[in-house]
């Protein structure tokens, strides 16, 4: 619910204090919920991930259906409007061109004492990409987060995207394919973040997680 407060109105300070207190209470509640979810995923792995997906997304999966298959991703490319695919490919190329200019170069030199010194830039082994799912559509977010990792030379990009009630956003899957994402899992929420951070039997852990989301995944 949106609460509108105006400075100078009667009881402003009291109302403002109550609003701030409610926000703190919500933050504490969310933190406790997320901590419990992360602990479950860390301890139980796939079993917790599947149970939580069934609970929050109303979707029953098993380890075989946890990850989108290449065939399913191919169907998404076929189902996506050709104009959208063209726009995604154009955006991919432009984003790549921009970030390629930001990539730092190694620098090696020999100092006055004859010692070779320098700076070497190396990519992390794997990154995780969180993408909101359901009715929301964020294919641009996929490109903006996956392509810099590809430019940097990250060898493995694992993406998680919830599919509540089985709803799959074809444009998001298409964007992931166009961006070169290596693995796409149909899970979301704090449980997906936990799977990427700690790893499960089906999802190997990553070194860094990026992407938009609400307070439960921030």
125-151 pLDDT per residue, tens: 999 999 998 666 789 999 999 999 999
Alpha helices, DSSP H, located in 45-110: 46-57, 70-79, 82-100
pLDDT in tens, 162-185: 999 999 999 999 999 999 999 999
Number of H helices, E strands in the chain: 7, 6
Find where tokens 């403002």 sit: 16
Q: Check: CB of residue 134 under 8 Å from CB of residue 119.
A: no
Q: Check: CB of residue 192 under 8 Å from CB of residue 183.
A: no
Instruction: Give DSSP secondary structure letters for 1-41.
Output: ------TTSTTHHHHHHHHHHHHHHHHHHHHHHHHHHHHHH
Q: Domain limits of the chain?
A: 57-210
| Mean per-residue pLDDT over the chain, rounded | 93
Average of per-residue pLDDT across 202-212: 97
Find where tokens 């969180």 sit: 130
pLDDT of amino acid 25: 61
What distance in Å separates the CA atoms of residue 187 and residue 192, rounded to the nearest whole number? Answer: 6
pLDDT in tens, 5-62: 787 788 777 777 777 765 556 788 899 999 999 999 999 999 999 999 999 999 999 9
At 215, the pLDDT band (50, 70, 90 cuts) reads: confident
User: pTM of this prediction?
Assistant: 0.86
| pLDDT(74) > 80 | yes
Average of per-residue pLDDT across 199-208: 98
Distances (CA, A) of 104 to 123, 127, 152, 154, 181: 11, 19, 9, 14, 23
CB atoms within 10 A of CB 173: 28
Average of per-residue pLDDT across 65-77: 98
Range 90-128 burial, b when 16+ CB lie within 10 A, else e? ebbeebbeebeeeeeeeeeeeeeeeeeeeeeeeeeebbb
Q: HEC profile for 155-173?
A: CEEEEECCCHHHCCCHHHH
What CATH code would you report for 57-210? Answer: 3.40.50.1980
């Amino acid at each position: 619910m949106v609460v509108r407060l105006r400075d100078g109105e009667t009881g402003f300070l009291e109302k403002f204090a109550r609003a701030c207190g409610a926000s703190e209470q919500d933050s504490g509640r969310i933190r406790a919920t997320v901590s419990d979810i992360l602990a479950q995923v860390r301890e139980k792995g796939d079993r917790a991930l599947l149970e939580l997906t069934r609970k929050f997304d109303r979707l029953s999966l098993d380890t075989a259906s946890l990850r989108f298959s290449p065939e399913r991703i191919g169907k998404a490319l076929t189902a996506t409007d050709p104009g959208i695919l063209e726009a995604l490919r154009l955006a991919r190329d432009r984003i790549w061109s921009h970030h390629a200019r930001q990539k730092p170069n190694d620098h090696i030199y020999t100092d006055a004492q004859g010692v070779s010194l320098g700076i070497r830039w190396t990519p992390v082994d794997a990154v995780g990409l969180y993408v909101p799912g359901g009715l929301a559509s964020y294919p641009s977010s996929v490109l903006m987060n996956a392509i810099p990792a590809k430019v940097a030379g990250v060898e493995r990009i694992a993406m998680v995207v919830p599919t509540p009630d089985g709803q799959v956003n074809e444009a998001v899957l298409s964007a992931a394919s166009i961006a070169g994402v290596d693995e796409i899992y149909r899970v979301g929420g704090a449980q997906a973040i936990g799977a990427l951070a700690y790893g499960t039997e089906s999802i190997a852990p990553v070194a860094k997680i990026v992407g938009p989301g609400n307070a439960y995944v921030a």
